[in-house]
Each structure stands twice: as C-alpha cells, then as structure tokens.
Amino acid sequence: MAKAGSEPRLDGGGNPVWLLLELTYQCPLQCAFCSNPRQFADYRQNELSTAEWIDAMSQARALGAMQIGFSGGEPTLRKDLEILVAEADRLGYYTNLITSGIGLTEARLHALKDAGLRHIQLGFQSTDRDVARQLAGVDCWERKLAIARSIKALDFPMVLNVPITRQNIGQVPDIIDFAAELGVEYLELANVQYYNWALLNRDQLMPTREELERAEAAVREARIRLGDRLTLFFVIPDYHEGRPKACMNGWGAIHLTIAPNGDVLPCSQATNFKHLEFPNLRRQRLEAIWHDSPVFKLYRGDAWMPEPCRSCSEKETDFGGCRCQALLLTGSGHEADPACSKSPHHALVRQAVQQAQRARLVDAPLIPRHASQGIGP
C-alpha cells in the first residue's frame, strides 16, 4: 500500500477524472491574456483527425475519466465538433464546451444540444464594448451578447467566465448584474493567471490589491443580494494572496490535457517546460502514458518537493503550488511556487506587483495574441 503523500492524490482511484481536449489553437480572437502557447501556429498543420480524437476519448473513458471539456483556441472552428460531442455523450461523459462564442449560431447550438452537449462555458471580457475590444483584440462584443442570450434561450446550463484584469475589475458590479439578468447559473470572475500571453502583458493587466479588495467586497454583497439566483466564483489572485493555488489537485493527479497535435500533458500549461518531451497519442496508449510516463511522474506526490514545501502542513492542500509558475518565475519547476509567502523566491512576486503598479504611469499598449509576432521563446 502506498504511503500517504507518496503517490498522487486522486479522486478517481488512481485514474484521471477530467479530460480537456484542446481541439485546435486557432482562434478568431487575439486576447491579451490568452493561455495558449505563444508558438500556437506550430500546431496548425498537425492537428489530430476526427478518428484520433474519438480514439483518445475512448481510451480516457476506459481509464475512468468522467468529464470532458472541448476547448482550444476556439473549438467551434473544428467542423467535426458535433461528431466529437455525440461520441463523448455515447461514451458516457459529462460534456462541456469552453468557447468564446464566436463560431456559434442558433443552428449550431441546436445541433450541439441534439448531439448531447450538457454545458457551455462562455468567455466574456467586459460589459463595456471598448474594454472588451481592448482585451479581446477584436470587436466581438455584440456578437458575444447575442450568443449568450441564444445559449440561455436553449436552456443550456452555463458558466460566464470573465478573466479579471486592471481594465475590467472596476466593472465587476455591472458584470454581476449582467449575469444575473441574463439568467446564467454560474459566474466565474477569474483573476488572470500569468502564463504565456498574460505573462507577456502582466504589467498592463495586473490590478492593485485595493482594486481586488473592492471587487471581492462587491462579490460578497452580490452573494447576499442574489442568493441562489447566481453562483459566484472569485478565483484568487495568487500574486496578492501569499498562498499558491492548488494546481489542478496536483501535477498529473486527476487532470489530463491533450494538445491539438496529440501531446498528452499533466496540465494545460505544461508546454512551458521546453526541455521536456511530452508523450504523444500517436506513439503511445493513454494508459501507459498516465501510469508510466516519466513526465507524469515528475511532480506527483511529495518526493520532488524542496523545503519549505516538504515539511509544510499545507502541502496536502496546495501540492506545493503551480509547477509551471515556479518554472516561469525561477527557471526551475522544482522550486517552491514564488506565489507562496513561505517560498525563498517570494520576492519575485512582490517585485512583479510593484513593477505592475509603476507601469500604470506609462500608457503602454497590450500586446495581442498574434501568430506572426513570434514573441518570446
């Protein structure tokens, strides 16, 4: 029997629970906080076929995966999306579409509902058209409003996901009222996590602690006022909290991501580890990848943990924080997450917060996600 803490903490009996299929990294938007790899164009010519995606879903279901998210990029750019949803439903998955809404029509929503789609998460930038255009890089505000109403008209359970930045944090009360009026079940106010394009724009995107406290107060007030009408999630801004996020219940613990080219990842940001060679569905079965891949074993359990993580009383709660964030900020995924106040590298986060506040004095434009820019390693 495995010793407590020596193996990944799994809710699926040692198998993945949540499967995220990043069907394509193509997207009509140019969001300044996009979490896709900066080299997303490299994946375009090597996307999995319909048959390969279906085989991946079947393999993951055999492993015990129960929920599936169709994501991207923009997953509706795949013309076979309805086929994939129907097969996922047949296999017994709870299906979720994670979308910008661009590419959806009423006819396509009907087709997806008929195929068995159970849930939609719609990305939304702002209740202000100009701010929405600034963050998304294109003018899609009216289109998003229309598709949000169409989703609710078809009675889909829906999460309205709003990445929170300096640009829209002052609109949190308006965003809450908009979501309540629209009739969505869940509103996720997701303080932007600084990876890929968001990291590139960190100085321009990061709110102040005071702005975050006002937004959180608005959330508390709305929870009392709205009661059961709307479930509100406020994703913590770990740069300001002094505690790291739990990193998908741990690296390769319950979560499995498949990139457009078939690379299998222990989390959706793992491609930041440029020195790792990730296993690929075209060369290896999922069961072997999940149980035997050195990449998936790399940060499971606590054997990898340095101090102060190894002796920390919270290691079973936060799993040592985010490995990708540790890599991006310190250069090594083995370090304690700098977001944690106990980390010897916490000064990097404090410096980043101070730098973002100084950047307010300079009206620097956001850098939009764009394949032709070729920014960064």
Sign of CA dihedral 196, 74, 187, 228: negative
Dihedral in degrees, nearest 10, Cα atoms 83, 87, 89, 90:
140
Is the CB of residue 355 less than 8 Å from the CB of residue 362? no
Distance, in Å, from the CA atom of 14 to the CA atom of 3, rounded to the nearest integer, reads 14
Q: Which of 286, 243, 251, 284 is nearest to 267 (CA)?
A: 251
Question: Quick one: tokens of 241?
Answer: 């909290």
Give the confidence band of 41 by pLDDT, cuts at 50, 70, 90.
confident
What tens digit of pLDDT does each residue of 320-329 get? 899 999 999 9
What pLDDT is attached to residue 376? 38
Would you say residue 237 has pLDDT above 60? yes
Would you say residue 122 has pLDDT above 50? yes
Would you say residue 373 has pLDDT above 70? no
366: amino acid identity, one letter: L
Question: Quick one: tokens of 89?
Answer: 């439903």
Q: Which of 92, 144, 90 is nearest to 120 (CA)?
A: 144
Would you say residue 230 has pLDDT above 70? yes
Structural domain boundaries in the chain = 18-240
Is the CB of residue 71 less than 8 Å from the CB of residue 20? yes
Stretch 234-257: mean pLDDT, rounded? 88
Stretch 5-32: mean pLDDT, rounded? 78
Stretch 110-138: mean pLDDT, rounded? 97
- Which stretch of 42-56, 157-171, 230-244 has the lowest confidence by average pLDDT? 230-244
What pLDDT is attached to residue 264? 98
Give the angle 109-111-116 at the CA atoms, nearest 5°. Answer: 95
What are the backbone angles phi and psi of residue 70, rounded to the nearest 5°? -95, 115
Distance, in Å, from the CA atom of 90 to the CA atom of 243, rounded to the nearest integer, reads 41
Alpha helices in the chain (DSSP H): 50-63, 81-91, 106-115, 129-136, 141-153, 172-182, 196-200, 202-205, 209-226, 238-241, 286-292, 294-297, 315-318, 323-330, 346-359
What pLDDT is attached to residue 44? 86
Specify which residues 162 forms β-bridges with. Answer: 189
What are the backbone angles phi and psi of residue 103, rounded to the nearest 5°? 105, -15
Distance, in Å, from the CA atom of 17 to the CA atom of 255, rounded to the nearest integer, reads 6
Residue 2: Cβ-neighbour burial (10 angstroms; 0-12, 13-18, 19+): exposed
What pLDDT is attached to residue 11? 53
Give the confidence band of 172 by pLDDT, cuts at 50, 70, 90.
very high
Q: Which of 199, 189, 208 is nearest to 354 (CA)?
A: 208
Is the CB of residue 85 less than 8 Å from the CB of residue 70? yes
Distance of CA 325 to the CA centre of its chain: 14
Q: Report whether 309 belongs to an annotated binding site.
A: no
- Which stretch of 81-90, 173-182, 235-244, 334-343 has the lowest confidence by average pLDDT? 235-244
Is the CB of residue 160 less than 8 Å from the CB of residue 122? yes
Would you say residue 3 has pLDDT above 80? no
- Provide the whole-model pTM: 0.92
Stretch 95-107: mean pLDDT, rounded? 95
Distance, in Å, from the CA atom of 33 to the CA atom of 193, rounded to the nearest integer, reads 8
Distance, in Å, from the CA atom of 65 to the CA atom of 96, rounded to the nearest integer, reads 13
Would you say residue 13 has pLDDT above 90? no
> CATH for 18-240, among 1.10.287.1080, 3.20.20.70, 3.30.420.40, 3.90.79.10?
3.20.20.70
Q: Report whether 247 belongs to an annotated binding site.
A: no
pLDDT averaged over the chain? 92
Would you say residue 265 has pLDDT above 50? yes
What tens digit of pLDDT does each residue of 295-312 get? 999 999 889 999 999 999
Q: Report whether 34 belongs to an annotated binding site.
A: yes
Residue 185: Cβ-neighbour burial (10 angstroms; 0-12, 13-18, 19+): middle
Would you say residue 9 has pLDDT above 60? no
Stretch 129-142: mean pLDDT, rounded? 95
What pLDDT is attached to residue 374? 40
What pLDDT is attached to residue 241? 86
Indicate the pairing of strand 255-258 with strand 264-265: antiparallel
CA distances from 237 to 44, 165, 248, 312 (A): 32, 10, 16, 21
